[in-house]
């Protein structure tokens, strides 16, 4: 009786390569199955999507109110930070479906910004996530004497002239900054948030 196994080539590096390829294929399929429902659930929810390059910025309006993209000139130096949301200029969709899209706009003296922050600002207007990185409380206040944005929940303070770095309090990381540019005076989102907005988990 012939032993066909004896005719088979030795199973060495070639088999190992095939085994690794099969495992990668299986792993990819599992990841795809896990991720697909989430992606699919949000694919048609433009209002939930994070700010996109090219988005404009607008204040939250009452239902039916026409939304106007903000200009640099609309943000007054020394004024209280303005809470805004990204606006898709192509569809007019205000991305207000998630509170993680809340953005603080603040106009500062460009000379007071460090090089990194100045490069992400538009004529002194800086944009930061309005959600504290500690436990996710809303941020809306700026103390001009200290030059800090602060959270009332646990008193974390962030320096907007230095990329939103933590000055004091329990926040474990900087506020995500949203890069901006000016297009003929209109505020335009230049890139995505520098980091994931929201509480640190």
Averaged pLDDT for residues 159-182: 97
Averaged pLDDT for residues 77-89: 93
Closest CA to 174 of 185, 162, 187, 182: 162
Any domain includes 95: yes
Any domain includes 1: no
CATH of the domain at 100: 2.102.10.10
Any domain includes 29: no
Any domain includes 16: no
Domains held by the chain: number: 1
Q: What is the pTM of this model?
A: 0.77
Any domain includes 157: yes
Please identify which residue in the block is written with the tokens 């303070």: 157
Q: Residue 82 belongs to what domain range?
A: 55-189
Per-position b or e across 102-134, b if 16+ CB within 10 A of its CB: bbbbbbbeeeebeeebeebbbebbbbbbbbbbb
Is residue 10 pLDDT above 80, yes or no? Answer: no
Give 12-57 pLDDT, tens digit per residue: 444 455 544 444 433 333 333 333 343 344 545 889 999 999 999 9
Give 115-137 pLDDT, tens digit per residue: 999 999 999 999 999 999 999 99
The count of residues in the chain is: 201
Any domain includes 64: yes
């Amino acid at each position: 009786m012939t032993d066909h196994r004896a005719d088979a080539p030795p199973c060495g590096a070639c088999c190992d390569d095939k085994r690794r390829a099969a495992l990668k294929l299986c792993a990819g399929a599992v990841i795809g199955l896990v991720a697909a429902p989430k992606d699919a659930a949000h694919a048609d929810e433009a209002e939930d999507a994070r700010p996109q390059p090219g988005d404009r910025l607008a204040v939250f309006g009452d239902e039916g109110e026409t939304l106007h993209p903000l200009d640099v000139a609309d943000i007054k130096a020394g004024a209280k930070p303005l809470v805004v949301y990204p606006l898709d200029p192509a569809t007019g969709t205000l991305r207000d479906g998630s509170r993680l899209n809340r953005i603080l706009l603040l106009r500062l003296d460009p000379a007071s910004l460090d090089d990194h922050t100045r490069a992400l600002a538009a004529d002194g207007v800086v944009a930061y996530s309005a959600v504290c990185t500690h436990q996710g409380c809303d941020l809306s206040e700026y103390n001009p004497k200290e030059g800090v944005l602060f959270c009332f929940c646990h008193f974390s303070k962030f320096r907007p002239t230095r990329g939103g770095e933590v000055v004091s309090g329990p926040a474990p990381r900087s506020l995500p900054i949203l890069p901006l540019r000016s297009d003929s005076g209109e505020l335009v989102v230049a890139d995505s948030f520098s980091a994931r907005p929201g509480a640190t988990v």
